[in-house]
Structure 1
Amino acid sequence: MRRSDRLSEIIEIVQDGRLHLARDIAEQLEVSVRTIYRDFDTLVASGIPIDGERGVGYLLREPVFLPPMNLSLTELEALHLGMEIVVAAADSELQAAAKSLNRKIDKVATVNGKVPKDWGFGVFSFAQAKVGFEHMPRIRTAIRAKEKLEIAYVSLDGHASDRVVWPLQNAYWGNVWTMTCWCEKRSDFRSFRIDCITKSRLTGINFDDEDSALLTRYLDRVNTELAQKPDGKT
C-alpha cells in the first residue's frame, strides 16, 4: 500500500470519533506500530486535527469533510460515472483514489436512504487509454515537482526517439492521454501520446517554470492559433 493511501485509510479509521490504539491500526493495515506512529506524526504536522500520543491512542477531534451539498440524482450519477471512468482508465494511484471516493459516496449520497443500484456504467472503450499507464505516476510527479523527465517515444509512424521533456499538463481525449511539455530536443512545446511512451525516468533535475508560466504560454499560443483559423477548428 502506498503511504498516501495508508494515510487516507488512517483518517477513515479515526473518523468515527473513538479512541484507536496504534497497534490495532497497524494490525489492520499490516504495517509496524512504529510506521503508524510516524504516520500520525505526519498527519498532525499537516494540520489534521488528531489528538493522542504513543501508547495511549489517537482520535480525530473534528471530522474532515467537504461542505454539505444537495445533489440531484442526475448529479450523483454523473459523479459516480466519472469515478467509474477513472477506475477503468487511470493508473493504480488514481484508481485507488476513485474506489475510495466511490465508497464514501455510497455511504452518504443516498436517495430515500438507498444508493441507486444501476450506477457503474462506462461510455468509452478504455483498452487503448490503458496502454502506457505505468508512466502516469511519474508524469504526475514530474508535473507537481517541476522535474525533468526522460522518455523513449515511438511516434504513430514508427519513428523512435529519446527526449528530455518538462512535463506541464496531462489531457484525456476520450480514448488516449497526452502529455503537454517543453521538449529540450526541439526547444519548443510538444504534446506526446502517453500510450506511445515506451520508457520514462525521473531525472531529479528541476526546471524553471515560475508560476506555471510555460503552461500559460502554451495555452495562449493554442488560443491564438485557433483564433487565426477561418473556421476556428483545429
Structure 2
Amino acid sequence: MRRPDRLFDLVQILRDGKLHRAADLAARLGVSTRTVWRDMATLAGSGLPVEGARGVGYQLRDPTVLPPMTLSRDEFEALRLGVALAAGAADPTLARAAASLRAKIGAVAPARAEDTGSGSFVFASEEAARAAPHLGLIRRAIRDHLTLGLGYPDAGGTVRPRRVRPLHLDFWGRAWLLTAWCELSQDFRVFRVDLATPIEHDGGAFMPEHGKTAEDYIARFTTA
C-alpha cells in the first residue's frame, strides 16, 4: 500500500474517536508498529488533532468531520486549487488555515490524485486573467496525455500554428507558463498561456516518450 493511501485509511479508522493501539492499527494495515508511529507523527504534524503516544494508543479528538465522500478528479482539482487560492490571501489567519488544510489534503489524498501544475492559482494580473479560460483544458491535457493545437507568435511576432505535448503548468511572476514538447520545433518550449490563441484539443493523444517528458526537460538544467 502506498503511503498516501495508508494515511487516508488511518484517518478513516480514527474517525470513530476511539482509542486505537498502534499494534492493532499495524495489524489492520499490514505494516509494522514503527511505521504506524511515523504515520501518526505525520498526521499530527499536518494539523490533524491526533492525540496519543507509543504504548498508549491514538485517537482523533474533536475534529470537524465531513461525511465520507468520493470526489472526481475534476472535483479534487477544484478543491486543491481553491485551497491554493485561499493560501495566497492577504488575511494571515485565512492563509495559515489554507496552508494547514493543504497539508491535511496532501497527507491523506490517494497517490493517484496527481498534481498537474504548481500550487499557485491566482488571477492577480491581466495576463493571468487572460489565461484563466484555458487552464482547465490544459490541466486535463497534461493529465490525460492529450495533444493541443495553439497559435503562438515567433520572434518576429508572426503567429504560427503549433502542435504540442503539454507537460507542466506553472505560474511565474504575472503569467501562466506551459512547458511542452513542440512538434514544430522538435524540442521543448515554454509558452505563455495568455499569448497562445486559440488553445484547442486537436483530437490527438500521446504516450510519454523518452527524451520528451517533463523529467527530461528538468534534467537539462540539473546535469552538467
Shorter-normalised TM-score: what interval? 0.3 to 0.5
- Name which structure has the greater RCO, CA cutoff 8 Å, separation 6+: 2
Scaled by the length of structure 1, the TM-score of the pair is 0.44
Scaled by the length of structure 2, the TM-score of the pair is 0.46
